[in-house]
Amino acid sequence: MILRLVLKSIFARGLVASMTILSIAFSITLFLGVEKVRTGAKASFTDTISDTDLIIGARSGSIQLLLYSIFHIGNATNNLSWESYLEIKKQPQVSWAVPISLGDSHKQFRVMGTTLAFFEHYKFRNDQSLTLAKGNLLDGLYDTVIGADVARSLGYDLKDSIIISHGIASFSEHKDHPFQITGVLEKTGTPIDRTIIVSLEAIEAIHQNWSPTPQSLEEERLSPETITAALVGVERRIDIFGLQRAINNYPKEPLQAILPGVALAELWQVFSIAEKAFLGISIMIICTALIGMLAILYASLNGRRREIAILRALGASPWFILKLLILEAGIICTISSILGMGALYVILLILQPYINSNYGIFIPILAPSKTEISVIIGTIIAGIFISLLPAYRAYTNSLADGMNVKS
């Protein structure tokens, strides 16, 4: 009986109830949406590089090595010699190694020298490989493959020519060695999107002012003296720490090997304040909606005093009135939660490709997580708890006060 009475009461106040439901539903959608973006951003950040066991570079801090080798932020304090790289690559524990040379730029975008092995072994977001949106990989000496953001920001396409500058934000350009774009990569949501990739030999050629001929291309090999860093994969997982220890104690020069996952976790701690801020915003959104519901319930009490008085006159106890208002708040919060979560998944279904392609944040559409379910249950409980205030006021109203309608 009480449930039927509550539903009829909600339908009788259709406009006010609908506005309350929409307000809370919208807040829940925002809350869960912010949470999805927050967790998606964290996952995209930590998945910037995967399936790489070690990153090797000159001895420095682990975060610094990660920043300049993977995120292309800052510069290396020193380089890794080519001889040391080759010696490490020959170690029996090493399955593959990819050299990286940084230091040049093009219109504020980093230029990275590497080998074709980079396209084979660089993985991101659960072992996804780099793929071409169009064109081909590096073939000629002065070929280049550019990231999606480079192509979009500068309006570049296949066969366009670019000039590389020495250093970052430098006016010293290698005008005698123009590069031709042969490929454009798909969006990855990683620093590769903002990178111009060339061969190691090309990096050496432009710094030596070396001009190839058909004969010299076959006769001369352009090997670098140093590289910035190297990505390494091991044969067996059990070999990782032993190889890391050997590299950190390398006798010929001071080197450092870091585990990307550990360094990424350390780096994310730097952004923990922003993560907590996002969480705080999410909580404030829900609190604002619940306070709005409290205000609406209080405002509606004056208009419902005659309704409550009639129920009391018909034999309803104060406890019945209390349960009536609490159940009403619970139903409103439950309907709002269902609508809010449903709206979230509809929005995700529509915007997921756009967010992924434009911002590099992949938000998976999965069944509600334990956290999301906890949020929904917590919202319903909080709504019921908040409704106790107006419900208690109605509980304490006397029958005579209810029959005497105040203007």
Q: Are residues 243 and 345 in the same domain?
A: no
Gap between the Cα atoms of 114 and 274, Å rounded: 34
Average pLDDT over residues 212-232: 70
Q: Give, in order, the Cα–Cα distances in Å from 31 to each of 45, 125, 283.
A: 21, 25, 7
Asked if residue 223 is part of any domain, the answer here is yes
Residue 217 pLDDT class (50, 70, 90 cuts):
very low
The answer to whether position 264 is within a domain reads no
| 203 and 105 assigned to the same domain | yes
Better pLDDT: 54 or 15: 54
Do 175 and 219 have their domain in common? Answer: yes
Amino acid making up residue 294: L
Q: Are residues 97 and 244 in the same domain?
A: yes
Most confident of 11-25, 70-84, 361-375: 70-84
pLDDT of residue 380: 86
Whether 179 has a pLDDT exceeding 80, the answer reads yes
Domain that holds residue 103: 54-258
Do 30 and 99 fall into the same domain?
A: no
* 87 in Cβ contact with 232 (< 8 Å): no
User: Which residues fall within 8 angstroms of residue 395, CB to CB, at 6 or more apart?
Assistant: 318, 319, 321, 322
CA distance 269 to 151: 32
Asked if the model's pLDDT at residue 72 lies above 50, the reply is: yes
Do 18 and 62 share a structural domain? no
Same domain for 35 and 59, yes or no, is: no
Q: Say whether 258 sits in a helix, a strand or coil.
A: strand
Band of residue 397 on the pLDDT scale cut at 50, 70, 90: low
The 3-state DSSP class for residue 141 equals coil
Residue range 291-324, pLDDT digits in tens: 877 777 777 666 666 677 777 677 767 777 777 7
Note whether 115 and 155 are same-domain residues: yes
323 and 376 housed in the same domain: yes
Same structural domain, 32 and 119: no
Residue 240 pLDDT more than 50? yes
Output DSSP code: residue 363. -
Which pair of tokens denotes residue 201?
A: 């030999």
User: What per-residue confidence (pLDDT) applies to 86?
Assistant: 94
Residue 115 lies in a domain: yes
- Does residue 240 fall inside a structural domain? yes
- With respect to residue 100, please indicate whether it lies within any of the assigned structural domains: yes
Distance CA 181, CA 203 (A): 15
Listed residues 208, 226, 258: the one ending a domain: 258
Domain boundary among 231, 258, 285: 258
Is residue 207, in this structure, part of any structural domain at all? Answer: yes
The amino acid occupying position 166 is: H
